[in-house]
A = this chain, B = another copy of it.
Amino acid sequence: MKLGEGVEAAIHCVATLSSVEANSTMPGAALAEAFGLSPSYLLKHLNMLSAAGILESVPGPSGGYRLAKAADSITLLDVVLAIEGRQPAFRCGEIRRNGPVKLDGSAYVKPCGINAAMLKAERAYRAALAETRLSDIVATFNREGDPRSLAASCAFVERHQRPRKPGSPKQI
């Protein structure tokens, strides 16, 4: 079982965007620079986060990305599902039906117990991810992070955030 590398990038990006001032945005290229990632690689994940309603993409010269909702309304589960999709990790192929004895569909009305047990574990995983909000991640970093990392992160946000100008185009 493996989550794509995009999950780490996505969580770091939404955490960074939570420090951007209200109504300001940060360009995707700056987010890529913040974590040493290729902008085109990151763009795919930023688009997924936008499609899932976690980020807003603001067009135009002073555009970029910002959180679409408050950091305490975004959970790790939201981000993981945005990047990895909503399908469970265990995808039952109903191989119980493939054996030499062919029974009709009525023999398989009840879900396979193996699938049921695997989905129960997945619910536990998702519940744990849903318990951690983006605001928790950020609060822990602010409280326990190395002061040099904190200072570098704040300076980076200061340098790259783009205040939305009055009269700028409506966000998409």
Contacts and interface: CB of A to CB of B under 8 A. Distances in A.
Q: Number of copies of this chain in the oligomer?
A: 2
A172 interface: no
Contacts of A107: 146, 148-149
A1 interface: yes
Question: In the complex, which of the residues A95, A98, A123 has the most CB atoms of chain B within 10 Å of its own CB atom?
Answer: A95
A42 to B, nearest CB: 10
Nearest to A106: B146
B99 A148 contact: no
Contacts of A15: 114
A80 interface: yes
Interface in A119-172: 120-125, 127-129, 132, 136-137, 140-141, 144-146, 148-149, 152, 155-156
Chain A interface, >50% SS class: helix
B11 A114 contact: yes
A128 B113 CA distance: 15
A120 B98 CA distance: 37
A36 B3 contact: no
A167 to B, nearest CB: 32
A129 B95 CA distance: 20
Interface string A1-22: 1110101110110010000000
Q: Which 7 A-B pairs have the closest CB atoms?
A: A36-B98, A125-B125, A121-B128, A124-B128, A101-B152, A107-B146, A35-B95
Given A1-B3, A8-B93, A33-B100, 16 more contacts: A1-B84, A3-B90, A8-B95, A12-B114, A34-B99, A35-B96, A35-B98, A101-B152, A103-B149, A103-B152, A110-B145, A113-B144, A114-B137, A117-B136, A124-B127, A125-B125
